[in-house]
Structure 1
Amino acid sequence: MPRDTSGPPRTGSRTMLDGRYRVGDVLARGGMSTVHRGTDLRLDRPVAVKIMEPSLAQDPTFVRRFEREARAAARLSHPGIVAVHDQGRDEDGTIFLVLELVEGGTLRDVIREQVRLAPATALTVVEQVLAALRTAHRQGMVHRDVKPENVLVARSGQLKVADFGLVAAAWDGAAGGSLDTGGSTSDDMILGTAAYLAPEQVQHGRTDERSDVYAAGVVLFELLTGAPPHGGETALAVAYRHVNADVPAPSTCAPGIPRALDRLVVAATRRDPAERLASAAAFLDAARRVRQEEGLPFAPVAPPRRPRAGSATPPPPHTGTRRFSGPIPREAPADDPAPDPVDDEPDDDEDEEADEPAAQDSGGTGRAGHVDDVVDRVERHARRRDRIRSRRVFSAWVVLVSAATVAAGIAGWFLGAGGL
């Protein structure tokens, strides 16, 4: 796990939690939590201590869901899943998780160093992620935020998926808070990193196994090509693309990718969940068939050489973590498939917040408290588009008038010269 010593622990002057865990250097920061290197004094072993933001600790709904999801995540036993050792609340109200400490980096660090992975290596990575997801799905847990930042790469090369259950705890207002895979989250809230969100998460906030399948398919696309399939100026624009555009075959973006891998990515990222690979188990079986058909060897990924410290681990600039309020329309506004046209002039009514990269393995959801009203955003984009269109029409009219004036002057000069 990358190291960041750029500040004191967020427990203030406290260096102990629950009289058992010594809190050390900051490893990573995020919108929901800060991860510290720690020591379990009772068992004399190194651990990672994930401390929730104080604002979240004051929310009774979040605390209840956090404790329930932590208990569920602790029941997951798989070598490809970061183990949850303990969870608790200190006497000062600090909410924390105690996790297996994974020394190394993240899959995002690997992508930053290598850009693209060979097909055999990309397939090996995704198979390990899918094996972890399969175990979680069989126990009724959906990750909801599968992305390179949440896949840790140990120094041994072993991959481990992090943050099971933490994202679910941030979905406020779940109907009954059940953990089934039928999707019990609120219909008008979605949470996750825009570059990896399944269309049903964007539109309705509903998640099940197939949402994780979609995200894993996007991760495979990125490993093969070096970038996620959909881009945009803002997280909202990226979300629109997931709803309204298919994930293309990777070979259309990068050379040397077998057609069988194209078909695998497309099958995992169908916009209609009913047409998508039905589960992580089905995706894993299909991936293994592709490996056999193409004769691709099992090729573990090399751990990152120099993991970037702390939370300054940005995904590509056209991704972002946001919580959106309200379903996103199935179609973008007419004549404007991307809802964020480039505008060189700032608008007084435009939000000035910038998309911040999702923090690396430090909460899974970035700025979880940030809420964007989608309807207002779309209306603002429409007004921007109208202003841009008006400026373009005016500019074209000025150009035409100028051209006509110059042409008339040239014609007059030739006529005058002919008269001489």
Structure 2
Amino acid sequence: MPERTDGVADVTGTGRKRTYSKGMARQVVDGWTVPGFTHVRELGSGASGRVVLAVDDVTQTKVAIKYLDRRLDGDEAFLSRFRLAARRLAQIEDPNLVDFYDFVEAPHGGAAIVMEWVDGVSLRRVVDAQGPTGPLAALSMLGGVLVGLAAAHAKDLVHGSLRPANVLVDGDGNGRLVDLALAPPGTEAQSGPVYAAPELWDGVAAGPASDIYAATAIFYECLTGHPPFSGRSQSALAKAHREAPVPADEVPGPLRDLILAGLAKKPSERPASAADFLGAVEEAAVAAYGPAWEAQGRSRITELVKQTQALPEPAPARGGGRAPAKAPAAKSGGRGRLVALLVAGVVVVGGAGGAAALTLGGGGDDDKKTVQPPPSPATSGTPSPALPAGPGPVNPAAAAALATQVEQAVARTPSGAFSYRRTGGAAIKAQGSFALAAAASPSYQMSVSGQGADVRRPAQARLVADTTYLRSRNTWRPAGANPRTRGYVNLVSHVRWSSSVSNVTTLLRTSTSLRKTGASTYQGAVPLARLAQAPGLGPLYAEVARATGAQQVTFVVQFDSAMRPLQIRVRAAGSGAKPRSQLLHTSYSRWGQKVSIPAPRGAG
């Protein structure tokens, strides 16, 4: 039976039009669904609407669709404001924000948000289940929240009602923000009263300073297990936010200045921006816990997420935070893993198990020019220089020996999974699997997306024998010859080199100041001019140098007990009045798992 079309709209301004239909396979809100998607199951519902898991009929990408409650889609003032916010949200690609794809409206009523489907749990559930996270995990969460806020604020978007239920922690320990700009003006304090800045209680519009306040209150709760202020009623809570001294003595001494700055009563006394606060957080963390703080914090929060996922599902939550006793509770219902997260906003968590490695590959002309050499054991019979038993400097000979040790360890288990993110400039994110082979180019499968209309949606691809294949519907095709897929080919090439084992070993061998900072963690610095000459990696770091104006990169790499990489963070920071920076972060897991990445049958 042919589909009946009721209207066409391009709401986000991306140039992509969707047709809205009444009479599709499943009714969700008043008999209409967003066309172009097949619904899989309902994930949950809340005061602002229902969320379903769906699959894009064209790309086969899983998405989450939030069908707004009639009270919102019938509020023209809210819709007018959110249409503008939606255009801006659709332009943001940041690893600490849940990707926003579309805001769609039916011509005769009904509205929905199409967004990224993510696997993880809310920070609310983690803290409720595990208690205080510890300072390193709390710092890691605060850093991720501030990165996401900085990206939103750069587009003149504020969250407005930030709370732990709006921070989704994925399987790699990344804090992902959801529900941006969903609180109608004037309701922000009531939406997250425990975390609402003093000015919100006075009717002042939400802004970057109030988001920073909420982020700091969340940080405080991660450190102590409870929010900084409480009250038996909303009026008592408002008074505490306005007048009560900040209880900074309950947090570790090195972090008290961060708490005092972020929870300052006056907006003008808080950090000038999320980016400025992030710089202060990094400085305090390095001073207190060393340069490997972020890697250790991410490892800890990942452990807490796994422990939380193993626990029985909690009863449906009534609010995004620990609301005062007399605060009005948001309606909650539905079923599935997300029930506790779906409160007055868009919080989307994936289904069973950890994040699956998706099939995606890279290649193209650039990849054919430079082939990553497979790791191989050392053949020299010369004894390797001794590595330091404890923290301290590593001389060049020992650094080379360390790199060889890493290559040997990887050669024994030459396959695994990875997750990659680039922040700063044009964001990139990817996850997938890889298989290394002697005397042959490594093969990759991944899901990858970037910033820009042509690469914003996650694509599935494979890289086999230096050829990139992209999947469209159920068909795989070589990507190099199609101009429309060139953007994805470039992304795959970037991810391939950034996440390669040769990147790790090259950084070790070329470092000019390598130090061992922990049992299995090393920190170093390398001039970008030297990296730009490295085989295979040269184009990657030449691009980094052009984008940031930096002269060198610093890195922190952590290994497992077998000396296989667990994660590596590479940072390039320029100088000047408006310094530009980039962070390349790769996490590795499941070393030695069986991975088969064949060329797709019939692709050609």
After TM superposition, the score normalised by the length of structure 1 is 0.66
Counterpart residue type for residue 293 of structure 1: A
Aligned equivalent of 1:214 = 213
Q: CA deviation at 1:57?
A: 1.4
Aligned partners of 1:316 and 1:139: how far apart in 2?
A: 25
Could you say what the CA RMSD is over the residues aligned between the two structures, in angstroms? 2.9
Aligned equivalent of 2:316 = 312
Aligned equivalent of 1:145 = 161
Q: CA deviation at 1:365?
A: 9.6
| Equivalences for residues 82-231 of structure 1 within 5 A | 82-90=98-106, 93-167=109-183, 170-171=184-185, 190-231=189-230
Aligned partners of 1:310 and 1:36: how far apart in 2?
A: 20
Q: CA deviation at 1:10?
A: 7.6
| Equivalences for residues 393-404 of structure 1 within 5 A | none
| 5+ residue gaps, structure 1 | 1-8, 172-185, 321-339, 341-351, 367-420
Aligned partners of 1:101 and 1:44: how far apart in 2?
A: 12
Q: Work out whether 1:11 is the aligned partner of 2:11.
A: no
Distance change >3 Å, CA 306–CA 363, structure 1 → 2: farther
Counterpart residue type for residue 363 of structure 1: A
Aligned partners of 2:315 and 2:68: how far apart in 1?
A: 15
Distance change >3 Å, CA 282–CA 83, structure 1 → 2: same
Q: 198-207 or 232-241, which moves further after superposition? A: 232-241
Aligned partners of 1:24 and 1:307: how far apart in 2?
A: 25
1:226-277 Cα distance to aligned partner (Å, 9 max, x none): 011111223332222111213210x43xxxx431211111111000112112
1:7-65 Cα distance to aligned partner (Å, 9 max, x none): xx882585x62321233433232222222212221221110111100122122222222
Aligned partners of 1:118 and 1:264: how far apart in 2?
A: 15
Distance change >3 Å, CA 189–CA 87, structure 1 → 2: closer
| 5+ residue gaps, structure 2 | 1-25, 333-339, 348-604
Aligned residues: 305
Q: CA deviation at 1:152?
A: 0.7
Aligned partners of 1:25 and 1:102: how far apart in 2?
A: 15
After TM superposition, the score normalised by the length of structure 2 is 0.47
| Equivalences for residues 15-414 of structure 1 within 5 A | 17-90=33-106, 93-167=109-183, 170-171=184-185, 190-249=189-248, 251-252=249-250, 257-296=251-290, 297-298=293-294, 299-300=297-298, 301-302=301-302, 303=305, 304-306=308-310, 312-314=316-318, 318-319=322-323, 355-356=329-330, 360-364=341-345
Q: 59-68 or 225-234, which moves further after superposition? A: 59-68
Aligned equivalent of 2:405 = none
Aligned partners of 1:29 and 1:246: how far apart in 2?
A: 38
Aligned partners of 1:357 and 1:96: how far apart in 2?
A: 19
Counterpart residue type for residue 86 of structure 1: D
1:172-228 Cα distance to aligned partner (Å, 9 max, x none): xxxxxxxxxxxxxx6x98553100000011112322211111001100100000011
Distance change >3 Å, CA 114–CA 155, structure 1 → 2: same
Counterpart residue type for residue 48 of structure 1: A
Distance change >3 Å, CA 189–CA 116, structure 1 → 2: closer
Aligned equivalent of 1:328 = none
Distance change >3 Å, CA 64–CA 151, structure 1 → 2: same
> Percent identical across equivalent pairs?
28
Aligned partners of 2:114 and 2:55: how far apart in 1?
A: 10
Q: CA deviation at 1:155?
A: 2.4
Query: 3-state DSSP class of the match of 1:166?
Result: coil
CA contact (8 A) 1:109 1:307 kept: no
Higher helix share: 1
Distance change >3 Å, CA 195–CA 74, structure 1 → 2: same
CA contact (8 A) 1:104 1:307 kept: no
Query: 3-state DSSP class of the match of 2:41?
Result: strand
Distance change >3 Å, CA 189–CA 290, structure 1 → 2: closer
Distance change >3 Å, CA 18–CA 364, structure 1 → 2: closer
Q: CA deviation at 1:130?
A: 0.4
Query: 3-state DSSP class of the match of 2:104?
Result: strand
CA contact (8 A) 1:10 1:51 kept: no
CA contact (8 A) 1:40 1:46 kept: yes
Distance change >3 Å, CA 224–CA 353, structure 1 → 2: closer
Distance change >3 Å, CA 316–CA 160, structure 1 → 2: closer
Q: 155-164 or 71-80, which moves further after superposition? A: 155-164
Distance change >3 Å, CA 200–CA 353, structure 1 → 2: closer
Distance change >3 Å, CA 245–CA 62, structure 1 → 2: same
CA contact (8 A) 1:72 1:165 kept: no
CA contact (8 A) 1:27 1:37 kept: yes
Q: CA deviation at 1:310?
A: 8.9
CA contact (8 A) 1:56 1:62 kept: yes
Q: CA deviation at 1:309?
A: 5.7
Higher strand share: 2
Aligned partners of 2:123 and 2:105: how far apart in 1?
A: 31
